[in-house]
Every structure is written in C-alpha cells, then in structure tokens.
C-alpha cells in the first residue's frame, strides 16, 4: 500500500476536507474522554499552518440517519476551539448550503466543523450525491479517521473520489497506525505473543487465524476461553459457551498445533454465581469450574503464567479483556495483563475498546509501544481485509489507475 502523506501535498491556500474520528464518549453533553480529539490535533494543526480553508467532518454514535440532540458534535466543537485557540463554526445545514460558499466566508482564525454526518441517512448508505455536496469547492481530501476506515460510508469512500488521487492523503494518525500494525505481520521480532480475550471467538476468528501464521504463542482469556476449555473436556459450570462455535475453536487448536503455536488457556479462575457486579465470587483453583459457578476472570495462577509469557516476548499484541473488568471483583486479570504488557521490553500493541480501557484504567498507556484507536478497523487491518477507506486513498489502484 502506498499513500500520499501530508508533507507530500501542497496545501498552501487550498481548501481541505478532513475526515476525523471524533466519536468521543458523552454524558449529559459533557465529554468524558477527549483522547480522540487530542489524537487528531497534529494533523489539524499541520493543515492550519498552511491554509485556513479547513472543513472537518466526523460521526458520533449511531443516530441512524436522524437528528439526535445527545449525539451532536457541539461539545466536540467547543473542546476543539479550546485546544486550537480558534473559533470552530458548527455547521448544521451543510446538506443544503454549498460547502464552497461556507469556505468563502471563513475568517482567518475560523474552522468549519460539520454537524454529525450520521444525522443524514445518505452517509451510511455511501450516497454519491451526498458526497458531492460535501466536497463542493474542496481541493484536497485528507482522512485521519482510522477507526472508521472499514466503513464504506459517504464521507469515507465516496467523498475521497471527488478529487484526483494525487489530492488524497492520509493524516498523521493513520500513518502511525499503519506503521505500528504492519509490524505485527511483517519482519516480526520473536518470540511473538498474541493475547486474545473478550466474549465471542467469532468476532476474533479471522484475525486469530491470520496472526497464527506469525505468532509463537496464543494466550486466550475472557469468556471465549470457556468454549476452548469445554471442547477439551473440562467442566466449566455455568460459564458462557458459544456452543455453535465449537468447530471453529477446534479448528484454531488444530491449526495452532500444525504451525507449532503454543496455546495457553486459563488454569484457574475467579468465578461468580451469576453475571452480576455484586454476585458472590471466589477463586477456583484448577481448570475445572464447579456446577453453579461461572468464570468471570482469570485466576492468580493464570495471571502469573500469562505474565511470564508476556515478559519473555519481543512482540506482543493484545485484544480483548481477560474478564468482566468493568466490575472490580473481576478486573484484576485485565489490569495485571495491562501492567505486564507495559513492562515488556519488546514491541507492544494494544487494540480494541475494552483492552484500551483496561490500559487506561491501569494508567500504563504511555508505556505501551502503540495503543490503537481503531477497534474494529484494527482487527480488519490485521485480518488482511481490504479497508474501503484505505483502498480509496491508495496512489494507484490494483490496475494502475
């Protein structure tokens, strides 16, 4: 893949459409975490140093084509204004008012922020006419919304096609993501440990199968571990099991064995009597879980085992929590894994919303080589799946066009 980067473009006095991922958590209109806004600042500031004709677009939540007040980008615009020390104009009627007329009215210290593009059904439909309206009067298209690249939405895919390929570029955040994630499959430093957690193996199947070609060890935690334990004949009590995915789990075990990838499953557990934050809980020593109990976190022996593998790694990728970490009695496994990844001297990557939350909760994000903002896009990239938002930004198509 070959893309134009910002330094390769002449931005001087040119109009720029910048697609970002400003999908921040809001509570009663107050931003709870501005990480995604801050992550976009280097790209925004680079562009503004060269032109003031900047139009920013983003989504927030899933309003399903309707105006939902709680999903307005107004708080985002206010925070952007504070960080940029510029006036951010939130434009709501851009589907009717031509973008070029808005750009013509921009003052020197003003930036346009389009209201939530998903307020329009045409966005998620990938509507070309909607994209043409967004790009009217725009010279350059820049995408820095890594977390949305797996969506063929109008502002991601169709909008980019409204300008020549030489006028399309990736932002600094996407450039950083691609560089980091590529190191997980190209010229990998070994030993390479893959850590997978979360609830559903189906969600991670493609990326596990692809990374089994590269890793040396696969550590499995979270609810998905119990399907693997069950097919190996261990009692798992009332633990969550994807009974219709047993064959998929067995195929992972078989492929791992054929490729000489070591599989490590929990050898003890923190269990509860029900899926509830206040359920009675206990440490169950050993692999077998007694009747009436369900595994909700990895146990202390498993933590030490996983830590030893992680610390003896030159490359680590972690996706998915080790338990129901949002509940304190079942958070220790995820937090200890986060701390171990941070202590590892190798190249470390954490991806996926819950894993990133665990890293932030453990306050170790600064010690991880790369914390991906991508979530689903990160996994799709690592699966080797072509991402629509990246494909449209390549300098040349597969046919050289």
Domain boundaries, the chain: 6-172, 183-383
- Provide the 8-state DSSP code for 292: T
- Sign for the CA dihedral angle at 135, 54, 100, 115 comes to positive
Residue 331 has a pLDDT of 96
Half-sphere exposure of 153 (CA within 13 A, CB side): 27
> Is residue 21 packed enough to be buried (19+ CB in 10 Å), middle (13-18) or exposed (0-12)?
buried
Quick one: tokens of 397?
């198509």
Catalytic residue among 61, 353, 367, 391: 353
- Asked if pLDDT for residue 400 goes beyond 50, the answer is no
Q: What is the pLDDT of residues 317-368, one digit of tens each?
A: 999 999 999 999 999 999 999 999 999 999 999 987 688 889 989 999 999 9
Residue 401 has a pLDDT of 45
Q: What is the pLDDT of residues 97-124, one digit of tens each?
A: 778 888 998 999 999 999 999 999 999 9
Q: What is the pLDDT of residues 32-63, one digit of tens each?
A: 888 889 999 999 999 999 999 999 999 999 99
Residue 375 has a pLDDT of 78
Residue 48 has a pLDDT of 97
pLDDT above 90 coverage of the chain, percent: 86
* Known active-site residue 222: no
* Known active-site residue 198: no
Tell me the pTM. 0.90
Query: Which long-range contacts (C-beta less than 8 Å, at least 24 apart) are formed by 96-103?
Result: 98/133, 98/136, 98/137, 99/17, 99/55, 99/133, 99/134, 99/135, 99/136, 99/137, 99/138, 100/15, 100/136, 100/137, 100/138, 101/137, 102/55, 103/15, 103/53, 103/55, 103/137
- Would residue 17 be called left, alpha or beta, if left means φ above 0 and alpha means ψ between -120 and 50 degrees? beta
Catalytic residue among 36, 53, 245, 336: 36
Residue 95 has a pLDDT of 75
Residue 384 has a pLDDT of 87
Residue 355 has a pLDDT of 87
Half-sphere exposure of 24 (CA within 13 A, CB side): 26
Cα 180 to Cα 156, 176, 185: the distances in Å are: 22, 6, 10
- CA-CA distance, 102 to 210, in Å (whole number)? 46
End-to-end CA distance of the chain: 14
pLDDT above 70 coverage of the chain, percent: 99
Is 6-172's fold the same as 183-383's?
Answer: yes
CATH of domain 6-172: 3.40.50.1260
Apex CA 199: angle with CA 196 and CA 201, to 5°?
A: 60
- CA-CA distance, 50 to 189, in Å (whole number)? 39
Residues in the chain: 401
- CA-CA distance, 132 to 281, in Å (whole number)? 57
Residue 399 has a pLDDT of 44
- Provide the 8-state DSSP code for 245: G
Average pLDDT rounded to a whole number, residues 150-161: 97
Distant-in-sequence, close-in-space partners of 177: CB < 8 Å, separation ≥ 6: 146, 370, 372, 373, 374, 378, 381
* pLDDT classification of 397: cutoffs 50, 70, 90: low
Helix (H) or strand (E) holding 155: none
* Known active-site residue 189: no
CATH superfamily, with its number, for domain 183-383: Phosphoglycerate kinase, N-terminal domain (3.40.50.1260)
- CA-CA distance, 333 to 320, in Å (whole number)? 11
Residue 111 has a pLDDT of 97
Catalytic residue among 200, 246, 301, 367: 200
* Known active-site residue 376: yes
Catalytic residue among 61, 136, 376, 391: 376
Mean pLDDT of the chain: 94
β-sheet with 217-220: strand ranges across? 262-264, 217-220, 192-196, 315-319, 347-350, 370-371
């Amino acid at each position: 893949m070959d893309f134009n980067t910002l330094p390769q473009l002449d931005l001087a006095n040119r109009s720029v459409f910048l697609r970002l991922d400003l999908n921040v958590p809001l509570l009663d209109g107050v931003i709870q975490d501005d990480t995604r806004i801050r992550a976009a600042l280097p790209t925004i500031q680079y562009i503004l140093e060269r032109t003031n004709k900047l139009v920013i677009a983003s989504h927030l939540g899933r309003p399903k084509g309707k105006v939902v007040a709680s999903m307005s980008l107004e708080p985002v615009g206010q925070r952007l204004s504070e960080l940029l020390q510029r006036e951010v104009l939130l434009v709501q009627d851009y589907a009717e008012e031509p973008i070029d007329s808005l750009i013509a009215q921009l003052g020197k210290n003003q930036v346009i922020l389009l209201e939530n593009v998903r307020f329009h059904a045409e966005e998620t439909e990938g509507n070309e006419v909607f994209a043409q309206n967004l790009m009217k009067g725009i010279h350059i298209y820049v995408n820095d919304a890594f977390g949305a690249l797996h969506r063929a939405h109008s502002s991601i895919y169709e909008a980019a096609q409204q300008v020549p390929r030489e006028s399309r570029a990736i932002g600094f955040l996407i450039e950083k993501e691609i560089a980091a994630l590529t190191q997980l499959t190209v010229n990998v430093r070994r030993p390479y440990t893959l850590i997978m957690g979360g609830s559903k193996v189906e969600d991670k199947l493609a990326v596990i199968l692809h990374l089994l070609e590269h890793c040396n060890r696969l550590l499995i935690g979270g609810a998905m571990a119990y399907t693997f334990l069950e097919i190996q004949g261990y009692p798992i009590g009332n633990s969550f099991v994807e009974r219709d995915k047993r064959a998929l789990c067995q195929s992972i075990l078989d492929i791992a064995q054929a490729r000489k990838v070591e599989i490590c499953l929990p050898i003890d557990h923190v269990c509860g009597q029900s899926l509830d934050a206040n359920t009675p809980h206990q440490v169950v020593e050993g692999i077998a879980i007694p009747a009436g109990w369900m595994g909700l976190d990895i146990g202390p022996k498993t933590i030490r085992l996983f830590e030893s593998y992680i610390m003896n790694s030159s490359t680590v990728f972690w996706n998915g929590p080790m338990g129901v970490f949002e509940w304190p009695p079942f958070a220790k496994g995820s937090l200890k894994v986060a701390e171990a990844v941070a202590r590892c001297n190798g190249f470390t990557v954490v991806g996926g919303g819950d894993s990133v939350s665990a890293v932030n909760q453990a306050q170790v994000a600064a010690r991880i080589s790369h914390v991906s903002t991508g979530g689903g896009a990160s996994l799709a990239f690592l699966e080797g799946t072509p991402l629509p938002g990246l494909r449209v930004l390549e300098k040349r198509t597969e046919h050289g066009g």
